[in-house]
Amino acid sequence: MNNNNFNFSNSYPELSINKVYQSYSEKPCLKNITFDVSKGEIISLLGPSGSGKTTILRSIAGLERIISGKISIDDKLVSSKETFIPPERRKIGFVFQDYALFPHLNVLDNILFGLKRDQRNRAFEVMELLGIENLRGSYPHQISGGQQQRVALARAIAPSPRILLLDEPFVRLDIRLREKVRDEVLHLLKISGTTAIIVTHEAEEAMFMSDRIVVINEGELMQIGRPGDLYNRPKSKFVAEFFGEVNLIPGKIKKGRIDGFNSLKFYHPSLIQKNKYFQNLFLFLHFD
């Protein structure tokens, strides 16, 4: 995990999101969101409730149209103001926050739903992979939350999607089960080389699961980077505070030094520009 050895043999990314703008009324809910995802990469979308995470997934999957910007999958434009490729032609798997299993279908039929008639073997293959073969005749209401989660995952990966989108897939599991299922899902994604975007509002979960994290707040992309980059080099107070307990010390910068803390010297070019004598800042300290 956390390495950067993705498959760069293609010159273009698996998924490209470029200046995507979305709004439901006057109020914009996605403001020029831009990021790329490489093949086999696992990305977390991290942000507080209402920040636009689900809307980004729904736009990628083609469950909603975008107002402006571009979304391309495998270098093919799938969404823009004028273009809209329907969800079934995008080869995207979606695990919804509430799993969205069909209540009137048993586990096997839920998994068979997105498969062609001759792909019955594939349903058994994914059930075996997730250890749920013995549940095949059960209905969703007869199985536990953890089992439902696995069925939802099995249904999403059965058609071998190009990209798997998971919307807060672990929130409904109790803490004890959460870690176990999280480990399993991560293992499954890695061994199958699946490109995935996982939505979460927990920084710790994002750090554990992903190669890179996209931090979203109020429809804006605050920062994107590897877990260590975001933790150690947050570019804003918001990101610093999102990654755990930090002590923020307000101050002013004066010729590359913090006023009052003259022993601390800063080397960041933007801080030592001659014309920036007084610049407000926060000094943040993690206690590790």
Tell me the backbone φ, ψ of residue 67, rounded to 5 degrees.
-80, -45
In sequence order, the 6+-apart residues with CB closer than 8 A to the CB of 129 are 154, 188
Using CB under 6 A as the binding criterion, the count of chain residues that bind ligand ADP stands at 10
Minimum separation from the CB atom of position 235 to ligand ADP (A): 20
Using CB under 5 A, pick the residue from 22, 44, 51, 54 that binds Mg ion: 54
User: Across the chain, which distance is largest between two alpha carbons, in Å?
Assistant: 73
Contact of residue 50 among Mg ion, ligand ADP, none (CB under 5-8 Å per partner type): ligand ADP
Partners of residue 163 on adjacent β-strands: 92, 195
51 versus 210: smaller Cβ distance to ligand ADP? 51
Q: Does 53 bind ligand ADP (CB under 6 A)?
A: yes
24 versus 102: smaller Cβ distance to ligand ADP? 24
Minimum separation from the CB atom of position 51 to ligand ADP (A): 4
Quote the CA–CA distance of 247 and 234 in Å, as a whole number: 13
Burial zone of 30 (CB within 10 Å; 0-12 exposed, 13-18 middle, 19+ buried) = buried
In sequence order, the 6+-apart residues with CB closer than 8 A to the CB of 91 are 73, 159, 161, 162, 163
Partners of residue 195 on adjacent β-strands: 163
Quote the CA–CA distance of 201 and 219 in Å, as a whole number: 14
Q: Does 62 bind ligand ADP (CB under 6 A)?
A: no
Q: Does 54 bind ligand ADP (CB under 6 A)?
A: yes
Minimum separation from the CB atom of position 164 to ligand ADP (A): 17
| Interface segment toward ligand ADP; rule CB under 6 A; list 45-53, 174-182, 231-239, 276-284 | 45-53
Minimum separation from the CB atom of position 186 to Mg ion (A): 21
Number of C-beta neighbours around residue 105 at 10 A: 15
Site for ligand ADP in 9-28 (CB under 6 A): 24
Q: Does 22 bind Mg ion (CB under 5 A)?
A: no
Site residues (CB under 6 A) for ligand ADP? 24, 29, 47, 49-55
